[in-house]
Amino acid sequence: MTEHETHMRVETEVPEHVSSESLRELLSALAAADWWVVVNGRWNGCTAWAAVNKETPAALNARGHGHQL
């Protein structure tokens, strides 16, 4: 995980062979992000990363501002 000025980013290596359950969990986590990318690896597997803006409605609501839709 890396912190940037405007967002947090999480990156993980995804093996070439992954169970259906693990793939569903990964896709669910990616869907919750503000943006995400999956990049094929050169030899096997891939890399997935997701980013969440620090100023999303959920983050603002946690600090007592804004509303999540």
pTM of the model: 0.66
Contact 48, 36 (CB under 8 A): yes
Note the pLDDT of residue 57: 60
pLDDT band at 66 (very low <50, low <70, confident <90, very high): very low
**Residue-wise pLDDT tens digits, 1-49:** 999 999 999 999 998 888 999 989 999 999 999 999 999 877 678 999 9
